[in-house]
Amino acid sequence: MKSALGALTVFYALGIIFARSLRLNFWLFAAIAAAVLLAAILASRKKILCLVLVFFLAFLTGCLNLINSTCLPKNHIRNFLANDHSALYSVSGFIVQLPELKNGRFCFILRCREIQVNQLRSKCSGDILVRMSFRGKFNYGENLTVISTLRRNKFVSAQRIYLIMPVEEERQIIRRPGFGGKKFMRGILGLRVYLEELISRYLPALPASILSAMVLGQQQNIPWLVKQAMIESGTVHILVVSGFNVGIVAFIAGLLLKFMRFSRRPRIVLVGICLLIYCLLTGASNPVVRATVMGNVFLAAYFLKREPDIYNTLFCAALFILLISPAQLFDLGFQLSFSSVLAIVYFYPRLKEFIRLEKCRNKILKFFADGGLVSLSAWLGTLGILAFNFRIFTPVTVLANILIVPLATLITLAGFAMLLSGLVCPVLAGFFSLPICALINLLLNLNLILIKLPFACVYF
């Protein structure tokens, strides 16, 4: 089962790559896929032939999914773009992503419902990126009309945002009555705004920006120099919400529910729901989606009283993300997230066995050696991707992670304690401010020392 699911995921991913490399006809490949599916059903008694056909079908499914994801409806807003670059557009819709700072400007994503250009009003669909030269306070689901020019987005990400609308003055944005989007998302994002304000209230700007990134996934306020220093030491991953955070949420939720005397099965279901809420709260980035899917697969296995398999859960998470958004395969965050976890799962036990770590009786030495092996495994898995994309080689990464990851763990735990206490009694959150500031300052200073070591970071 492990190798079959892994092979299905690989062939599906190869289909996505193939479809991106060539211009393919959707209906032709759909007909081929239907024929292969029929052949696989007829050959169900011949295991090898059936398996080959199933793998080929996974390849074709990857092709079809990517082709389908790039096909835009006739009323997509991109089809209303005029040749005149100075044309003014009036676009109505609702906010689906809260404003955040990007390249010196505050941006939010507007889901379009109606567009007016040259006195013609039409229904439309699709998302646009609104870039403001001022800081406006907007909330998820707010109905707005934005009046400005439209230009093409040069860097179309997996979110498929093809157009940018620059806004220079606040009067170009008109608030409309009512709300769009989903009510539960308004509640979740409202909670995130409250937690961010809680962090900002009790911490100075720099520690607040780092803690918000580590526990809430909000990186927009981190200074560029700090992020660059983390990249050079290979520790920038600590600024991303990942599996460790999801594990903490699962542990805390499980502990509280057990304390409240919930029985085993309802407790498992409620922990899974808590993981989904935390995933949405932090912005549903690739690492947290991967960790959430893996966590829920483990919970499902525990619910059914079966032994979970780490490879199966990893492949299941990758397949889940790529089925929803096949373009994520080309996202750097997706590649780094899965390659690092896969490398840890594969290399770590082998390295541990090779150096015979179990025979070490010194607990302190064993702890640091264990952390070093995990760091080395992750570094080996991401080395090629980072070198290809950033032309950077960071030999200091293994040492940096041995020293910095334990500090980041303490900061994350203190951050969760601060937020939980702040939800119960906001005054209690202030007690965590001094230790969190001290730990963050120690982490930043230690990171600066490490990147100044000879050959710590090499650009080529």
pLDDT digits (tens, 9 = 90+) for 234-247: 888 888 887 778 88
Rounded mean pLDDT, 162-178:
90
> In this structure, what DSSP letter does residue 141 have?
T
Where does the pLDDT of residue 53 fall: very low under 50, low under 70, confident under 90, or very high at 90 and above?
very high
Please give the share of the chain, as a percent, with pLDDT higher than 70: 98
Among 23-32, 99-108, 128-137, 410-419, where is mean pLDDT lowest? 99-108
- What are the domain boundaries of the chain? 2-70, 77-181, 189-459
Residue 288 to residue 131: CA distance in whole angstroms = 26
Q: Is the predicted pLDDT of residue 94 greater than 60, yes or no? A: yes
Most confident among 28-32, 84-88, 117-121, 151-155 (mean pLDDT): 28-32
**No. of helices (H) and no. of strands (E), the chain:** 15, 10
Q: Give the pLDDT score at 31.
A: 94
Q: Give the pLDDT score at 157.
A: 64
Rounded mean pLDDT, 37-43:
91
Q: Is the predicted pLDDT of residue 387 greater than 60, yes or no? A: yes
Mean pLDDT over the full length of the chain: 86
Among 168-172, 279-283, 301-305, 332-336, where is mean pLDDT lowest? 301-305
Task: Locate 239 and state its tokens.
Answer: 């600024």
Q: Give the pLDDT score at 3.
A: 66
Most confident among 95-99, 161-165, 304-308, 374-378 (mean pLDDT): 161-165
Q: Which CATH superfamily is domain 77-181 in?
A: Nucleic acid-binding proteins (2.40.50.140)
Contact 216, 194 (CB under 8 A): no
Q: Is the predicted pLDDT of residue 255 greater than 90, yes or no? A: no
Which residue in 120, 110, 117 sits closest to 88, CA to CA?
117
Q: Give the pLDDT score at 251.
A: 85
Task: Locate 268 and state its tokens.
Answer: 């498992």
Contact 127, 112 (CB under 8 A): yes
Residue 194, CA distances (Å) to 143, 211, 274, 397, 429 in order: 21, 14, 18, 35, 13
Chain Cα centroid distance, residue 258: 30
Residue 337 to residue 294: CA distance in whole angstroms = 13
Strand blocks (E) in 74-172: 89-102, 105-117, 120-123, 127-132, 142-148, 151-152, 163-167
Q: Give the pLDDT score at 1.
A: 47
Residue 96 to residue 119: CA distance in whole angstroms = 27
Rounded mean pLDDT, 436-450:
93
More confident residue, 323 or 136: 323
Among 139-148, 271-280, 356-365, 416-425, where is mean pLDDT lowest? 356-365
Rounded mean pLDDT, 313-338:
87
First to last CA, the chain: 42
Where does the pLDDT of residue 12 fall: very low under 50, low under 70, confident under 90, or very high at 90 and above?
very high
Q: Is the predicted pLDDT of residue 232 greater than 90, yes or no? A: no
Can you give the C-alpha Rg of the chain in angstroms?
24
Where does the pLDDT of residue 373 fall: very low under 50, low under 70, confident under 90, or very high at 90 and above?
confident
Where does the pLDDT of residue 2 fall: very low under 50, low under 70, confident under 90, or very high at 90 and above?
low
